[in-house]
Amino acid sequence: MDKLIPDPPLDATTPPTDPTRAEELIKDREAIKRALDFYLSPDVEKRSNPSTMFMVAPNIDTETLLAHAYESLASASALASNFAGELSGLQRSTALAIQQVVMLAELAVNRALDRVDPQI
């Protein structure tokens, strides 16, 4: 990382009183430079990669992805609805709220699917 004002050089004319202190200063400067470089100019190659344990194939088309997302959301909505039927009180309200959020996501995916492949 280039900076506008350079660090002042170590005074070479007067030797430091303690040689280990000079080594510590050099190590500190190197550590500070590494930390600043790490946070201010990270290498593109060193960025973390997501886990590939569960990965969607990169060549799958958008319509297929949306269709699978729609089916998954519909299943989650049905599960939450059935589960809410077994509950009562505040727990039932919570399960129904979860079901409603899933249903809203299902509607959004359905609209996106209609835009990808309109059924005229």
* pLDDT tens by residue, 12-69: 555 556 777 888 888 888 888 888 887 777 665 666 677 777 888 888 998 999 999 9
Distance CA 15, CA 74 (A): 76
- Tokens, residue 22: 């000079």
Decide: pTM greater than 0.75. no
- 74, 106 contact by CB (below 8 A): yes
Q: Got the DSSP string for the chain?
A: ---SSPPPPP-SSS--S-HHHHHHHHHHHHHHHHHHHHHHS--STTSPPPP-SS---TT--HHHHHHHHHHHHHHHHHHHHHHHHT--THHHHHHHHHHHHHHHHHHHHHHHHHHHS---
Token match 């492949």: residue?
A: 117
Q: What is the pLDDT of residues 97-112, one digit of tens each?
A: 999 999 999 999 999 9
- Confidence band (pLDDT; 50, 70, 90) for 120? low
